[in-house]
Amino acid sequence: MNLVDLWLTRSLSMCLLLQSFVLMILCFHSASMCPKGCLCSHSGGLNVSCSNANLKEIPRDLPPETVLLYLDSNQITSIPNEIFKDLHQLRVLNLSKNGIEFIDEHAFKGVAETLQTLDLSDNRIQSVHKNAFNNLKARARIANNPWHCDCTLQQVLRSMASNHETANNVICKTSVLDEHAGRPFLNAANDADLCNLPKKTTDYAMLVTMFGWFTMVISYVVYYVRQNQEDARRHLEYLKSLPSRQKKPDEADDISTVV
């Protein structure tokens, strides 16, 4: 029994030691994979916090198993194409309080289906490509940006989940219609379909052009008729001004003889 107890004791010790060694390797691996200036922790998945890290661009060495990613309060100015394509478990992405101005067309490729929350508030975004948020299932926060309200923004918001709530928080800094500047986008979109404005403008231009041509043709016809009337009047006056033809004396004698 003593040998058995000794063996069990040593086996248990080795098991605990091995478990500790594995955990140490995992922790070391996570720490070594954490981007510079960021803090990584495990709580329901890998959380990567890069808030207030003075980042000027999105790190390209983000761990693939990242679930929550905080990149807020930095100096990031753009979101490049496919920058998150390897983060297939990403659920929360916070990019608020940066200086983001540009979002490329395929910026969220690879995470559009899994992302649950996307925060782009308090940036410098004026417009985005109409396909930038395609297939995005996340609840997006895009308020407090200097949005330019036009057809593209209307298409973008319509393609997003919870578009009514998102659109209601968008304020038009500028707009294709001056009267919409400073108003919520939802009110502007209810007043006018921003995607039909170019067509209407073209129709009006064509109508004005056609009216101009029609007026010119009518004016020419009226001028032509009046000019002909004037020429006819002058010709008639000329004919009236000619002296009438008088009979010769010989013709009068001949007439008298015949009688």
Q: Are residues 49 and 174 in the same domain?
A: yes
State the total domains in the chain.
2
Q: Are residues 92 and 211 in the same domain?
A: no
pLDDT-derived band at 259 (thresholds 50, 70, 90) equals very low
| Reported pTM | 0.65
In a domain, 250, yes or no: no
Instruction: List, in sequence order, every residue forming a beta bridge with 240; answer none if it has no partner.
Output: none
Q: Are residues 38 and 162 in the same domain?
A: yes
Question: What does the pLDDT read at residue 27?
Answer: 43
Q: Domain limits at 213?
A: 196-230
DSSP 61-127: ---TTEEEEE--SS---EE-TTTTTT-TT--EEE--SS---EE-TTTTTTTTTT--EEE--SS----
Question: What does the pLDDT read at residue 15?
Answer: 47
Choose among 171, 94, 82: nearest CA to 126.
171
Q: Are residues 160 and 177 in the same domain?
A: yes
Q: Are residues 39 and 146 in the same domain?
A: yes
Q: Which of 35-39, 180-184, 196-200 has the lowest mean pLDDT?
A: 196-200
Residue 46, number of CB atoms within 10 A of its CB: 22
pLDDT in tens, 207-251: 677 777 778 878 777 776 777 777 777 767 766 676 765 555 555
In a domain, 184, yes or no: yes
